[in-house]
Structure 1
Amino acid sequence: MRGSLGTSAALLARAVGSLLLNKIIVLYGGPGSLAQLGRFQALMGLVGALPATGVQVGVTTHLPPLHAGAPRYRVWLGAAAWLTGLLVGVGALLVGALGGGEWPVGRTVIFGLAMLLVTGQSLLGAALLVAGRRGGYVALAVAIGALGLSGVGLMLVLGQPIGRVLLGYVVGQGFSFGLAWVLAIRAGLLRGWRPGWPSQVAVRGLLRFVLMAAGTQLFGQAIGYVLRAYLIKHYTPAATDLWQAVDKLSGNYGMVVAVVLGTVFHPRLAALAPQPAEQRRYVNSVAGLLAVGLALGLGLLFVVRRPLLSLLFAPRLAAAAPLLAPQLLGDWARFLGSLFNYNLLVRGRPGPYLAVQAGASVLYSGLLMGLVPRLGLPGVVDAYALHYWLLLIGYVGWYYRKGALARRSPLINPT
């Protein structure tokens, strides 16, 4: 319970920081600034996806049984640091190579170094959480939000264009690495650690998680970045801000759902993996409860959509209200479908899991290409909703078909 509270507090701090950042950018960044922020954050997500959801998940799987400062602990932490640096470096090189005139060498280098610091503090934060240093983990979450906002505020005060304002955002976040380093030293996590060539065994062990993350993050992040670039190019700044406001709102309440599922549902589901029948009963009960709870919560958001958009962003973005209905319908299906999707992760089968993620990305891309040119911005949220409803139907059909087969023949293991 204490671990869940620590994670919840950190996510709450990030959500508050995100809301403040959106508000500042909308009020002082000018028309189109919210869409520019969304695209920049999607780029940060692309570069940081594999270190954050691949390397860190892997290292937090291997660190808990080990004593901080022990030789094997240093091996795993060192391999994670080396792999994080490699992945961020490759990502920054790709940004510079493919970004064109928007990404000259100087800007690319600053972005790459800042992202290296951001992912480094995130790795140390994960190690602090594993070691039970929840106060330090929450402090880092508060610090990275405050420093990112400070970087944005400084650039705006200096009258810099939005491109430099956004670069100030990631540079500001990078300064949180210093706090992470101090906290890790005080916790004894870096005791006896020296930079060096990583263990091949540890690197191979972490690469399995990187492969899983490639399916869950890279596909979605890449589509998100390309979509934002397309909208910025083909629509007016004011119009793109409307869709971005809806997307940002979805991301913020999505963090709340994520922490509930991640701290309550997922651990219990994983613990029940050796008991398929009990696991199915648990999924059924949670699915029913979540379906009703989501319907009530998202329905309330729909009722107050106009004043909420005005409060969180700006009065002019209340015009995004018509786009919110399909987004809410899609989010209901997305959150509910994640219950069934997580079963593939619990079963430790990266092949089927990656196949599902790749297929989902192809489906989403096809829907976007078919609907956006015809419908404009409403086509984006329509494609989003249709995509997740089709996935939910597929997940439910697969899951209950497996359950029916298991009931007919006890020799068939639904895993």
Structure 2
Amino acid sequence: MARKQHWKQFLGASVWSGLSTVARAGSTFVINKLFAVYYGPNGITLLAHFQNLVALLTTLPNAGINVGLIRHLAANEPGTEGYRSFFWSGLWLNLLSFLTGILVFVLFPEFFLERFGGTTSEVANHFSLWWVLGLFALLLLQLFWLAVLLARQALKLYVGLSLLTSLTSIGVTWWAVGRVDLTVALVLFLTGQSVAGIVGLFAVFKRGLIPPMQVKLPVQVHKELGKFLLMAVAMLLGSRFVDFVVREIAIQRFSLYETGLWQSVAKISDSYTIVYVSVLGMVYYPKIAALLSQPQALREYVRSVFFLLVPLVGGGLLLLGIHREFFIRLLFNEEFLAAKGLMDFQLLGDFFKMTAWVLSYIITVQARVKLYMVTQLGFGMLYVAVVMLLLPSLGLEGLPMAHALSYGVYLLFFLYLFRSYFISK
């Protein structure tokens, strides 16, 4: 009876998540299609590399600080001292992480930017440095406003901002592709992503969610958000940076074209994992956060959601695998059909990954910093090691196979860690 109630609650709450996710997934589909049609596999490779670059700058604030912010703003009413302290601590830490990321890029420009222009001076000309920095700042503001709205369950405004971001991204990219070179098109894509940073300010202000400014903040508040920041550092190094490095390895070993074929498969993966992560982030994460003080209820809820999602995910991925040619043509074009042989291990790895995420979210919400860092960094090193082991003998097929093997180990680890959730007492 409890399981059915949990299923009903989870699916019902997913409706709002679905509206936001449809907008994001639709935007991703159209943008991938435009870059594929106008720039081919080379364009898909550099689009993925650029999005990874954006993720390197946004992971610490969005996957770290903002995740902790959602938890604490949800527990404090606007107007209280706790809400005010966490709001401004979150904003200042966002600014600090942004400046740190920019400093790293300035110190190592060739490593991060050479694929987009060849030389440092060419990259600077293409990217109009101050313009791009301003766009990144607006993007971080947008993500911050979304976290504030989500914490207060202002889902209509949340969905509205998500929809605005999707529409502006599509509009700007639609205008840009075919008119400008690939590097400039990428910068314009970022412009579309950043517009909602300004609109979000007015939305949050009108809602009364911006408290009076506070510069001096309790050390304990920084420590609480710092736990989530440390976990995001592990994600940044073990996931985002590893992805960037593996793509660099692929480009150097093969070519932009061949790497683009592999990236098209990864892009298909991204199109449905966006949906999945959005549902987990908007529905599952807040619920398990609310159940932290009730261990038995938490176990029952996690178990119910796990047994609901695993067959749904497995069935959906199987259906996608059967109709892979249709989806490749739909999302890209016939030039990418050469990638269909890479999908088997990609889909298998995605099944392992999406199943494991149901359990990995638990250590995030529990703020088990050391364990989270060990799993993220350990997985990242494992993935790179398997890639380096398989590429010489298997070539391009070694990349999705490494994905499947690494996430298989990842899933087994979490099944063992949370085995008590599945053993009746």
Q: Distance in 2 between matches of 1:162 and 1:259?
A: 29
2:398 aligns to what SS in structure 1?
Answer: helix
Structure 1 equivalent of residue 171 of structure 2: 150
Contact kept? 1:38, 1:244, Cα under 8 Å = yes
Q: Distance in 1 between matches of 2:147 and 2:254?
A: 40
Match status 1:221 vs 2:240 = yes
Structure 1 equivalent of residue 42 of structure 2: 32
1:66 to 58, 71, 76: 76
Contact kept? 1:6, 1:137, Cα under 8 Å = no
Structure 1 equivalent of residue 3 of structure 2: none
Structure 1 equivalent of residue 26 of structure 2: 16
Q: Distance in 1 between matches of 2:421 and 2:319?
A: 35
**Unpaired segments ≥5 residues, structure 1:** 408-415
Cα distance change, pair 83–169 in 1 and its aligned pair in 2 (3 A):
same
Match status 1:348 vs 2:367 = yes
2:204 aligns to what SS in structure 1?
Answer: helix
Contact kept? 1:334, 1:388, Cα under 8 Å = yes
- What is the Cα deviation at residue 54 of structure 1? 1.0
Q: Distance in 1 between matches of 2:227 and 2:39?
A: 41
Q: How does 1:232-247 map to 2 (within 5 A)?
A: 232-247=251-266
Q: Distance in 1 between matches of 2:73 and 2:387?
A: 41
Structure 2 equivalent of residue 206 of structure 1: 225
Match status 1:134 vs 2:155 = yes
- What is the Cα deviation at residue 76 of structure 1? 2.1
The one-character-per-residue Cα deviations of 1:347-396 (angstroms, maximum 9, x if unpaired) are 43211221122111111111011112332211100000011112222322
2:260 aligns to what SS in structure 1?
Answer: helix
Contact kept? 2:35, 2:177, Cα under 8 Å = no
What letter matches 1:113 in structure 2? G
More contact order relative to length (CA 8 Å, sep ≥ 6):
2
1:168 aligns to what SS in structure 2?
Answer: helix
Q: Distance in 2 between matches of 1:202 and 1:113?
A: 28
With normalisation by structure 2, the TM-score equals: 0.86
- What is the Cα deviation at residue 327 of structure 1? 0.5
Contact kept? 1:92, 1:111, Cα under 8 Å = no
What letter matches 2:227 in structure 1? R
Match status 1:249 vs 2:268 = yes
The one-character-per-residue Cα deviations of 1:76-96 (angstroms, maximum 9, x if unpaired) are 222211111111121122122
1:160 aligns to what SS in structure 2?
Answer: coil
2:209 to 165, 185, 189: 189
Q: Distance in 1 between matches of 2:100 and 2:255?
A: 33
Contact kept? 2:238, 2:381, Cα under 8 Å = no
Structure 2 equivalent of residue 160 of structure 1: 180
Structure 2 equivalent of residue 45 of structure 1: 55
2:74 aligns to what SS in structure 1?
Answer: coil
Cα distance change, pair 77–266 in 1 and its aligned pair in 2 (3 A):
closer
Cα distance change, pair 167–312 in 1 and its aligned pair in 2 (3 A):
same
Contact kept? 2:145, 2:200, Cα under 8 Å = yes
Structure 2 equivalent of residue 412 of structure 1: none
Question: After the TM superposition, which of the residue ranges 381-390 and 197-206 deviates more from structure 2?
Answer: 197-206
- What is the Cα deviation at residue 8 of structure 1? 2.7
The one-character-per-residue Cα deviations of 1:258-304 (angstroms, maximum 9, x if unpaired) are 24444554455455555556655554554444332222111100110
2:418 aligns to what SS in structure 1?
Answer: helix
Structure 2 equivalent of residue 410 of structure 1: none
Structure 2 equivalent of residue 331 of structure 1: 350
- What is the Cα deviation at residue 26 of structure 1? 0.8
Question: After the TM superposition, which of the residue ranges 264-273 and 338-347 deviates more from structure 2?
Answer: 264-273
Q: CA RMSD in A?
A: 2.6
**Unpaired segments ≥5 residues, structure 2:** 1-8, 111-118
Task: Give the count of matched residue pairs.
Answer: 404
- What is the Cα deviation at residue 31 of structure 1? 4.0
Cα distance change, pair 142–280 in 1 and its aligned pair in 2 (3 A):
closer
Q: Distance in 2 between matches of 1:329 and 1:56?
A: 31
Contact kept? 1:89, 1:112, Cα under 8 Å = no
Structure 2 equivalent of residue 366 of structure 1: 385
Cα distance change, pair 164–197 in 1 and its aligned pair in 2 (3 A):
farther
Q: Distance in 2 between matches of 1:71 and 1:344?
A: 28
Cα distance change, pair 305–403 in 1 and its aligned pair in 2 (3 A):
closer
Q: Distance in 2 between matches of 1:344 and 1:286?
A: 16
What letter matches 2:186 in structure 1? L
Question: After the TM superposition, which of the residue ranges 381-390 and 280-289 deviates more from structure 2?
Answer: 280-289
Question: After the TM superposition, which of the residue ranges 385-394 and 131-140 deviates more from structure 2?
Answer: 131-140
What letter matches 1:321 in structure 2? K
Match status 1:89 vs 2:99 = yes
- What is the Cα deviation at residue 187 of structure 1? 0.9
Q: How does 1:388-403 map to 2 (within 5 A)?
A: 388-400=407-419
- What is the Cα deviation at residue 48 of structure 1? 0.1
